[in-house]
Structure 1
């Protein structure tokens, strides 16, 4: 069939493809006959050249490989191949067939080229031969459209996602993340205890409050730490209640730290079951005793009288004792933890000196109770004591309740008339206040925590008072009359918030409603401006206090450490240490003449006395 007789291009293409296949088969037979006659044998086991042939598939637009061979083999045949047979050329089949069979020289060149391509890189350890095989495998398996245009991108992706195994067989085990470790701790909170605990709960009513109900009201006010986090705190509080004989427990709040946070719980023990707390002397002011002088040192000091330094008359003020457990600043017991599920740690009792120094410094919490507090003035204790002092200050200044919810016990008032009342009882007859009354005036809100005096105590302590034994020991002649210090007095319990004094123009409180659109279901919100983060909500007879902040008091100006006190006078001013002007020559001559005249007068007086004695 001639070329002119073929009118359709499709028929022409089919004829060319059939001729290419026939040419490949004929050439293959001729090559096998020549190899048998010449007796060519490769070194070792030679691969069958017929198996290395590329077979052109009529149904596919690209060259496919025989399923019996590896995908890396086509490169060997393609290195010396000019180009694949073109569908538009009748010579393609002949060229393809001639270039398939290699001579000995061509085979050696092919091996050298292959060895060059398999040279490993000094940076990545990969070689070009394997990379080209991976690229071609990707192209043939995925059938990329316009592979010639995306060849570079395919090569880049293969290099990017190539797996590089670690050569060292000893691999370091990855430590679990903090979130995973914390999750394992919190899962223990969700494990139900035995039935014995349930029986004990039936006998004794649990003081655990319904925190989720409180969280609902705080959410209405835009205050809270989230229901999930608060639920974990709630479960952790249940474990605290089960392990301690507490009568009252309340979630005090959360103080933020630079490394970790503090979750704080306020508790009160039952009467007779109060746990014995260890007496921590870390916060007690230490008075250094002067070393006793030995006899030899005393003799040396008497011998050197001129060089003796005058004694310092300064005496430090007597230490103020801390208040007893269950009263004043130590009325409540506080437990803290960094995360719900971690063990609760009981904070020690607070000392007055710690509260006094805490008012003069401002330091962020780290979240580590044993962290040192390096400040000026020096704080007597670590972060555990500083945290306890700040809790006492915040509680005394921000814990508020509805007017009329608490009342004083009349019997106790009669017994302790004239003393500071520190206890109160709940008013059963209280019917609550309306929403309008709660949001209108601060007169309807009162403090139910004692005010802390400048001394650092809720009840003033006279440090200069002496006992009867000390008075008898002192002699009346040596007793120095000292003026009695004026006792410090603070506002009593259940004082209205309207009597609070503003600090440097800062209004103490902000009173508002949670919603102005639906006032009948709104909640009264009370926020402290002196202690940012302290909030209180109230609805009818229900209220609750919470603190969420950094534990610092607001200030109109930036914090400035106090100045160092002025140095004390070591020597008294006297003629021995006062400088005078040197005398002039005339003054020296006059003084010398006066001294000579006085000496002559004394000699004459002595001679007269001797003569009188001789005459007598």
Structure 2
């Protein structure tokens, strides 16, 4: 027998060794037989997978240990993760069914673009949360049938926060209400404090909850109290003076006050639509983008105007129409309404912000104390095909309502509020006559430090008194001699 035959027999012996799960020889025979029977086109590519399958079918070892059971906390976390993923997929799903007719949506704010502008001003919620809010707004618009929708802002609370969305619907026709009646306490939809409707959510995947209409009595009462939100719409408002409602009504009243004061627009962007059936309706000026104010003008208070109705001391934006109420009210009531209107006239729409707190403006100051303006980013001006362009971001911050910001970049601008829903008087000077803080402000959380007091005058140093020495000195005095001695 030659050397080659001996080596071949050794190879055959090694191939036939059975370690408990079959021999390599039998495995190769089964592999060749299976390939011959199935005759796959890509046999070379399937050799590894087929070999593994044959090994698993012939395995006679001990079974693998059972998988460990998850704890209660782990199961809850896994279920919550699956629920979160399903909710997020619903947000990403297109609002229209591809097999049905396309759904017509109103004008929905592209918050991702506005968030990039606010980020330059140091305001925002992060990219992930901003994308989540943008998708959530799109779903809300699809479910509600709104004309327009935007993110109004975020109201912070002690136990939770409120994301607030602002939308518009067709104005509702409503009969003229008698002064003092319950209907007169609520302005019709599309007018004054109820020019827009609002929804709130706690964030995450919680549903949007529509807030009620603002009432004039709630707005008046909110001006006299200082209360932080708790994050629960059904919670009570414990305050002095008493507030006639819960946190849901207080939140709606504060939104109306902030909107009236802090909703801005560049000068020349809007105009009052005199033909609209609803009073104080704004419309975009034709060619407003081409006539947009320059960056230099936007960096001053003169380039901005208020784009929301002003609220009077009554909590509403206008006085009752005496002519429309003719025959329904007495002459004395009509004269009283006219007298009140003369003492506190209605403010026109699109009034410039340079008139805000003008009576408190110091004599040496050029601008009013109600707004702070700052530029961010590249302030260079570059030539373009249509003229000049700039990447500058200009942000206006309210000194009366901390957290209200208006930002503009190019011809795109947006308003946002992120705060506690309270005024702050520490950044606005006191009243000139009384020296007291501005009425209705909230110095509980000041945004500016108080003035540093002067150093006290050092006291004059004296030697420490010694009673023993003082008595010895007093005993040395001269005594008067008695003349009889």
Which interval holds the TM-score relative to the shorter structure? 0.5 to 0.7
Question: Between Structure 1 and Structure 2, which shows a larger proportion of strand residues?
Answer: 2
Deviation string 1:274-296 (CA, Å, 9 cap, x unpaired) is 9x9xxxxxxxxxxxxxxxxxxxx
Partner of 1:227: 127
Partner of 2:221: 357
Cα deviation, residue 208, structure 1? 2.2
Partner of 2:407: 537
- Among 500, 511, 523, the alignment partner of 2:356 is 500
8 Å contact 2:273–2:280 — kept in the other structure?
Answer: no
Cα deviation, residue 377, structure 1? 1.2
- Among 190, 197, 205, the alignment partner of 1:333 is 197
Deviation string 1:118-159 (CA, Å, 9 cap, x unpaired) is xxxxxxxxxxxxxxxxxxxxxxxxxxxxxxxxxxxxxxxxxx
Q: Which runs of 5+ in 2 are unaligned?
A: 1-69, 175-179, 362-367, 382-389, 427-436, 445-485
Deviation string 1:512-536 (CA, Å, 9 cap, x unpaired) is 2113665632111111111110001
Partner of 1:188: 87
- Determine if the alignment matches structure 1 residue 428 to structure 2 residue 428: no
Partner of 2:395: 525
8 Å contact 1:186–1:340 — kept in the other structure?
Answer: no
Deviation string 1:69-128 (CA, Å, 9 cap, x unpaired) is xxxxxxxxxxxxxxxxxxxxxxxxxxxxxxxxxxxxxxxxxxxxxxxxxxxxxxxxxxxx
8 Å contact 2:96–2:102 — kept in the other structure?
Answer: no
- Among 512, 517, 522, the alignment partner of 2:374 is 512
Q: With structure 2 as the length reference, what TM-score do the two structures score? A: 0.61
Partner of 1:388: 252
Which whole-Å CA distance do the structure 2 matches of 1:392 and 1:481 have between them? 28
Which whole-Å CA distance do the structure 2 matches of 1:427 and 1:371 have between them? 44
8 Å contact 1:245–1:270 — kept in the other structure?
Answer: no
- Determine if the alignment matches structure 1 residue 369 to structure 2 residue 225: no
Secondary structure, counterpart of 1:246 in structure 2: coil
Cα deviation, residue 469, structure 1? 6.2
Question: Between Structure 1 and Structure 2, which shows a larger proportion of helix residues?
Answer: 1
Matches within 5 A, 1:414-425: 421-425=279-283
Partner of 1:549: 419
Secondary structure, counterpart of 1:197 in structure 2: coil
8 Å contact 1:433–1:540 — kept in the other structure?
Answer: no
Secondary structure, counterpart of 2:401 in structure 1: coil
Cα deviation, residue 325, structure 1? 1.4
Partner of 2:97: 197
Q: Which has the larger radius of gyration?
A: 1
Cα deviation, residue 235, structure 1? 1.5
- Determine if the alignment matches structure 1 residue 379 to structure 2 residue 279: no
8 Å contact 1:189–1:235 — kept in the other structure?
Answer: no
Partner of 1:256: 156
Instruction: Kindly tell me the number of residue pairs found equivalent between the two proteins.
Output: 335
Q: With structure 1 as the length reference, what TM-score do the two structures score? A: 0.49
Which whole-Å CA distance do the structure 2 matches of 1:362 and 1:179 have between them? 42
Which whole-Å CA distance do the structure 2 matches of 1:195 and 1:222 have between them? 32
Cα deviation, residue 411, structure 1? 4.0
Deviation string 1:337-394 (CA, Å, 9 cap, x unpaired) is 1013101100001111100110010111010000100111111110000000000000
- Among 176, 187, 193, the alignment partner of 1:323 is 187
Which whole-Å CA distance do the structure 2 matches of 1:436 and 1:179 have between them? 55
